[in-house]
Amino acid sequence: MISFGNEWGELKNQTEKERFKAHFLDRLKSLHGKTLAASSDWERYSALASVVRDYISKDWIATKQHYAATHSKQVYYFSIEFLLGRLLGSNLLNLGIKDIFQEVLDELGINLAQVEAQEEDAGLGNGGLGRLAACYLDAMASEHIPGHGCGIRYRYGLFEQKIVNGYQQEYPDNWLKNGYPWEYRRPDEAVEVKFGGNIRIQINGKTEYIHENYESIMAIPYDIPVVGYQNHIANTLRLWSAEVKLQDWVCSGFSRDDCQGTIEYTQTVQNISTILYPDDSSYEGKVLRLKQQYFMVSAGLQSIIRNYKAVNTDIGQLFNHIAIHINDTHPALAIPELMRILMDEERLGWNEAWDITTKTISYTNHTILPEAMEKWPVEMVKTLLPRIFMIINEINERYCRELWGKYPGEWEHIHHMAVIADEQVHMAHLAVVGSHCVNGVAKLHTQILKEQVLADFYHFSPAKFRNITNGVTHRRWLMLSNPSLAALINDKIGPHWIEYPCDMAQLMSYANDTGFQQDVAKIKFQNKLNLAQHIKEKYGVNVDANSIFDVHVKRIHAYKRQLMNVLHIMDLYNRIKDSPSLDIMPRTFIFGGKAAAGYFEAKCTIKLIHALADMVNNDKSIRDKIKVVFMENYNVSLAELIIPAADVSEQIPTASREACGTGNMKLMMNGAVTIGTLDGANIEIRDVVGDENIIIFGLTAREVLNYYRHGGYNSWDIYNSDIRIKTVTEQLINGFFPQGRDEFKVLYDSLLYHNDRYFMLKDFASYVEAQNLLDSRYKDHKMWSKMCIANIAHSGRFAADRVFTKYAMNVWGIRPDDPVRCDCSDDEFMSFHHTGCTRSNQSSSMPLQ
């Protein structure tokens, strides 16, 4: 462990506790001009955060100095999203001072949890992609990897979701309204980003490309320290804000129009970093999205190259000192932008620049959904980014010539692999062609990429492709959100698992221990009581903490099949109405997630959930056997309340559609049992916990893909052959719900007239059977306890620390100074360096299931 400071030593004795107390009270006075008694919880939060910043800054400065002195290879992780969650509790935990701060605040009569609740969730992401990126930053810092994030500082988050009469309504997520205490503005490190204009070619012995008549935008960096777990490492998340060079604009006292024009232009520029995922249903919206993506990569790369050149004179060695990773295709313009910098500014030739670029950049693919494979109109890219388009076009020409050498005369094959085709720039193709490594995020997902979605690229460059299954940080999702369970694990196997999470497998020796089972059950019950209290206070719904808490929390999308879950609840409700004495465990179905503002079908699903909730929650005849709750504005902080309380983890996407999933990992880590399809990481969860500790149903990926490719499925056949399905689908439109016959017709039509694209009706019978099996297993308390413990014990396999150690060694060529904390892999190199957990003997390749 590298030690740069001694915060714990500074605070652990009583004298230092008193010093901190004085420091906190003085900060409260200096920031807000108030005594403790007169201050609000928010003022206490901001003062406490300011004091914690002081402790972080020492390690942050020392970390930068250490990296510079040792010439450590730096990783820059580019992502359009970073869903950080609240940082006060995380920073206290990772600094190793949370307990002692708790003591000090208790002495002052301050409730730390109440103060932590004042922090706004940073509106820098939406769902799994952003949360994954945040977990990975935490893991890199904790694993001593010099890894930093690069993204956009959005003024507003995606939106704040409110439910009004059962309908989702979107409101501005003004998360910065009170400032953000964890960020540092760096105006002295601003860079210029150029849009539009034209390129003048000048030949003076060497061809020069001169960008003229462009729109100039200043990118201002805001840095957030990312604190490693008790290792005195603090890496950096750099976020960019778009601003105007106001000194270039006139606001004359003689012309009101001058000032008005400047104000309007300022607003146009600031729009680039105003909101995550602007509506791209219009041409202007698409342009804004493309601007965001180039703004992020151009600002980030300019900053990286500038810092590199400050200590390295040889730009040709860039890839030996810098690794750039693009998280999905949003940052794929990093490839032509790095080429532009190397050729136009560093004066390298094409071949040398291309060699450096491809050795520097690596790419994670996150989807096989066609609608998520980004493409941009050629004319748009050419107009907005003229020099970048020239480079992309040259990349395409050279790549197609290379393809011609292997596939002479196969025009269709080459067209299918081209970066530019059908007047579109294919960003996934660009990302594959311009990087040295392409990874999928679960074994099944990677196999589908190799065999189908990117099969042509895999056959052309098989060495590029590999799998690295996603992971989550156990520090936030277990230690921070479920401290009682973390303390119990410490009591049973010691704290070694915190740094070596695969050691959690030692808990299996207690799986049959009645006392341990009871201890785990007590913790789960208390977490359920906490959630039940929140639901009562916020929604006025009484839920029974003794009922099964069945949790389905994720982005609302047809392929994630919240609708299938609802259809099952409707069927269960029908069965209870027909047989009031039906012998089932009481069940509380908990939903959460946002629907994209323009996604009508998803918003209709939210309305259906609320309509069903209104019906079953107020029906006295079913005697509270089922309850339905939708928790609005699902975010990281709400997840930290829901996930520790979950008994059942709903992971039910159409097989082959979910690349990986990470909610499944967080829920298993907290002792929830997965009911799911053989998709994404569900397969790998099954492989480690065993068939007896997970409930699997439905079509396999191969079966689904065969239907998509060859047809043969008719949802009307299912409708006509299963009376349960016919009943619940008709209830969507026959007046069963008081909202009217047309309210849910779009959902009805999607199932029947659009042939049930995501096979909800096809999987329905299997899903109901799986739910019945789940009910019977829950009734056997000993069996259920063993299942919960098995999931907790094996969740270390999915720790982000393992994932990023694998990235570091297998993708970026970084060998950590410290021994590897956790690999759990079949990789020979990592196993040689492995410390602290047992190798898995599972094959790294798998057939489609």
Distance CA 491, CA 503 (A): 14
7, 97 Cβ separation under 8 angstroms? yes
Neighbours of 96 (CB within 10 A): 17
Distance CA 374, CA 643 (A): 32
Phi and psi dihedrals of 155, rounded to 5?
A: -70, -35
Distance CA 654, CA 707 (A): 12
CA 387 to chain centre: 32
The catalytic site residues sit at: 366, 554-555, 560, 662, 666
Which residue type sits at 732? L
Which residue type sits at 293? Q
Residue of 776, 616, 640 lying closest to 134 (CA atoms):
640
Distance CA 530, CA 549 (A): 12
86, 119 Cβ separation under 8 angstroms? yes
**Cα-Cα-Cα-Cα dihedral of 160, 163, 169, 174, to 10°?**
-20
Element (H, E) at 160: strand 160-164
Q: In the numeric block, which tokens belong to residue 553?
A: 């929390």
- Provide the 8-state DSSP code for 72: P
**Cα-Cα-Cα-Cα dihedral of 554, 556, 557, 561, to 10°?**
70
CA 780 to chain centre: 35
Which residue type sits at 655? A
Give me the residues paired with residue 439 across strands: 364, 466
**Strand, coil or helix: 573:** helix
Distance CA 525, CA 548 (A): 10
**Strand, coil or helix: 646:** coil
* Contacts of 574 by beta carbon, 8 Å cutoff, 6+ apart: 724, 727, 728
Q: How many residues does the chain have?
A: 849
Distance CA 37, CA 611 (A): 46
- Provide the 8-state DSSP code for 205: S
128, 662 Cβ separation under 8 angstroms? yes
Question: Residue 3: which region, alpha, beta or left (left: phi > 0; alpha: psi -120 to 50)?
Answer: beta
Distance CA 271, CA 289 (A): 10
HSE-up of 80 (CA within 13 Å, CB side)? 26
